[in-house]
Chains A and B, each alone.
Chain A
């Protein structure tokens, strides 16, 4: 009986259209992939959750450029070197920061949504943004350092519960 109940719960859970993305990278191109998938899925009716961890946290910082955000001199230095979404580097062909600017130019020219537009759309579509508690502490950040769209600061157990029954991607 227990097995049948378990199987039913699992099949019911599978019918929920849900996409959860672990955004580990703070790279411009990978964040563009994260928000393209997130907005596309949300637009066709999926519940979408993005769990930002490690360098991915750069995408949700309030300070979008370079700023000494952090708890002590070391994390503040890290915060400055990493910067926010505006200075996110490319994973390839970064050309000392010129790469993302070239990409933004190409995207605008081809009428393809830029990372900033995708992030705005994600907000309008109700995509759930979460920050990883552990990475936040390591990098000396606090919830107030993140954009107000960030719904909560979570640990692994809560993320697993939220993502249960859907697809999960690691980018």
Chain B
């Protein structure tokens, strides 16, 4: 199952908080697509997801500063 989360309007630390809470809610094997802005969220959300044992499948540029990070739980 694929879930989406838009944190483009969020700021530190809620970018990480919302991602972490969403990842906690979904089932193992589910996909989470996170829309986020460049800068700190883009640099750190994929890294911290990997550090916590999640699989980052792709990081794609959407438009302007917005990127999509695809994470598998």
Q: Residues of A at under 8 Å CB distance from B?
A: 36-37, 39-40, 42-45, 110-113, 117-118, 121, 124-125
Contacts and interface: CB of A to CB of B under 8 A. Distances in A.
B11 A43 contact: no
A124 B21 contact: yes
B12 A36 contact: yes
Contacts of B20: 42-44, 125
Interface in B1-41: 9-14, 16-17, 19-21
B10 A40 contact: no
Interface residues of B, number: 15
A44 B21 contact: no
Given A44-B48, A44-B52, A45-B48, A39 B13 contact: yes
B51 A40 contact: no
A40 B11 contact: no
A23 to B, nearest CB: 16
Contacts of A110: 11
19 contacts: A36-B13, A39-B13, A39-B16, A40-B16, A40-B17, A42-B20, A43-B13, A43-B21, A45-B51, A111-B9, A111-B10, A112-B11, A113-B11, A113-B14, A113-B17, A117-B14, A118-B13, A121-B21, A124-B17
A105 to B, nearest CB: 16
B65 to A, nearest CB: 15
B17 A125 contact: yes
Interface of B: 9-14, 16-17, 19-21, 44, 48, 51-52
Contact of B16 (A44, A111, A117, A118): A44
A40 B21 contact: no
Contacts of B19: 43
A50 to B, nearest CB: 14
Given A44-B51, A44-B52, A45-B48, A121 B17 contact: yes
A37 B13 CA distance: 8
A125 B11 contact: no
A111 B51 CA distance: 27
B9 A40 contact: no
